[in-house]
Amino acid sequence: MRLLPVACVLALVITATAPPPVPSAPAEQASVFSVRGLDGKAIKLSEFKGQPVVLDFWATWCAPCRAAMPDLDHMQARYQPQGLVVIGLSVDDGSATIVRRFVDRVGIKFRVAMADEGVLDDYGPIRSIPTTIFINRKGEIVRRVTGYLDAETMDGFVQEILPR
């Protein structure tokens, strides 16, 4: 019977001595970039101001990257009416021709470009691929994920950046 009051006092003491909550760090702004798309046209992040963006760093030789491509394509198609933009940034060492053949063969519809040193510096270090970056409509990086994302997890992360 006397344990309950002692437990309450102990809880008050622990709560009173707990450090104050740490304020969250300010959101990291996504770096603006311009790269040449596989179609030869410039892809500028600034073009998509006010829109949620998914950046996916990948390569044609990367099995998890290839496995994620249909899901990224599906996300682009499903959420395009809500403004979602998916941009694939290939880190392949080879020419854009190899990447273009892969994109055509797989039927990828989202924008694809070759990542240049500037983008890799701004968003890096990219130590492993796939690396997927989710940017909200305010241009803030909400989430950075290294490794394969299954469709359900990816969908949840896309939901986080869509306009409410």
Rounded Cα distance between 143 and 147, Å, is 13
Domains and CATH numbers, the chain: 28-161 (3.40.30.10)
SS3 142: strand
Please provide the distance, in angstroms rounded to a whole number, between the alpha carbons at the two ends of the chain.
Answer: 50
How confident is the prediction for the chain on average, in pLDDT? 86
pLDDT digits (tens, 9 = 90+) for 6-18: 333 333 333 344 4
Instruction: Inform me whether the pLDDT recorded for 22 exceeds 60.
Output: no
- 10 Å CB burial of residue 21 (0-12, 13-18, 19+) is exposed
Percent of the chain with pLDDT over 70: 84
Structure tokens belonging to residue 26: 């300010």
Q: Quick check: 88 and 112 in contact, CB under 8 A? A: yes
**Which residue would you say has higher pLDDT here, 75 or 26?**
75
* Confidence label for 23 from pLDDT (cuts 50, 70 and 90): very low
Q: Which of 82, 79, 87, 77 is nearest to 53 (CA)?
A: 87
- Model confidence, pTM: 0.82
Following CA atoms 27, 32, 38, 126 in sequence, which dihedral angle do they give, to the nearest 10 degrees? -50
pLDDT in tens, 73-130: 999 999 999 999 999 999 999 889 999 999 999 999 999 999 998 899 899 888 899 9
Q: Closest by alpha carbon to 90, among 105, 82, 100?
A: 100
For residue 91, with 0-12 CB atoms within 10 Å meaning exposed, 13-18 middle and 19 or more buried, which class applies? Answer: buried
CA–CA separation, 62 and 146 (whole Å): 13
How high is the pLDDT of residue 127?
87
Most confident of 3-12, 15-24, 39-48: 39-48
